[in-house]
Amino acid sequence: KAGVTQTPRYLIKTRGQQVTLSCSPISGHRSVSWYQQTPGQGLQFLFEYFSETQRNKGNFPGRFSGRQFSNSRSEMNVSTLELGDSALYLCASSLVGIADTQYFGPGTRLTVL
Amino acid sequence: AQTVTQSQPEMSVQEAETVTLSCTYDTSESDYYLFWYKQPPSRQMILVIRQEAYKQQNATENRFSVNFQKAAKSFSLKISDSQLGDAAMYFCAYRYGMDSNYQLIWGAGTKLIIKP
């Protein structure tokens, strides 16, 4: 089976812009979770989607949003980018959710200038 | 607030020896999940081991085992017969839930160095 893929792998944006990141889960996985990883804050949970519905949510502002399509592919959107949004964004897929074994993608490295 | 603490920013061990990484967490829940994930340099995060809090038995996966002390809220990872490929950042994580909203809370990580 193909692993979790994330596109693009690298992205450079300027403050105030918006960005959309994409995640394709392992075939058959219905849960997709997103995480932000920074040197200062470490790993933080953003949200989880299951069967096209946001099921769980972390403590991030409304500028961070996501969605999931019927084929389980997920997108994450960040609007009005701030310098502090520079991070590695990881997505993970699993069969049933975050208590299950999650399989991570390679991440998207976002740099905000 | 729920927290996960990894008190060792960095650990080193001689190849073939045993090392223990520590993790403590704060919770008022009685049923939860704990995880150890490994993130090798420039490679993808992978699950090492998973523990369900209601299970008394410590989880094991080949050379990896945990010492789960529920009362002490401690969840340490023991790696036996360390190999060069074990070099990575190791993260402890806890699945926290309130009002049916679940999220993973992560520790800051421990960098494991394997000396040949």
pLDDT range class, residue A67, cuts 50, 70, 90: very high
CB contact under 8 A, A42 and B109: yes
The rounded distance, in Å, linking the Cα atoms of B57 and B104 is: 22
Place of tokens 């789960």: B68
Low-confidence ranges of chain B (pLDDT < 50): none
pLDDT value for B29: 83
pLDDT value for B25: 95
Report chain A residues whose CB lies below 8 A from the CB of B103: 45, 48, 56-58, 98
Test mutation, A32, A36, A45, chain B, max B CBs within 10 A: A45
The rounded distance, in Å, linking the Cα atoms of A97 and A55 is: 9
Test mutation, A98, A103, A109, chain B, max B CBs within 10 A: A98
Out of A35, A55, A106, closest to residue B44 by CB: A106
Asked if the model's pLDDT at residue A89 lies above 80, the reply is yes
- Residues B104, B95: contact at Cβ < 8 Å? yes
Report chain A residues whose CB lies below 8 A from the CB of B23: none
pLDDT value for B1: 66
Asked if the model's pLDDT at residue A66 lies above 90, the reply is yes
Q: What is the pLDDT of residues B83-105, one digit of tens each?
A: 999 999 999 999 877 767 788 89
CB contact under 8 A, A45 and B103: yes
**DSSP element (H, E) containing A87:** strand A87-94
Asked if the model's pLDDT at residue A85 lies above 80, the reply is yes
Average pLDDT value for residue range A9-28: 97
pLDDT value for B99: 67
Lowest mean pLDDT, pick from A59-68, A70-79, B36-45: B36-45
pLDDT value for B114: 97
Average pLDDT value for residue range A5-9: 97
Asked if the model's pLDDT at residue A49 lies above 70, the reply is yes
The rounded distance, in Å, linking the Cα atoms of B15 and B112 is: 11
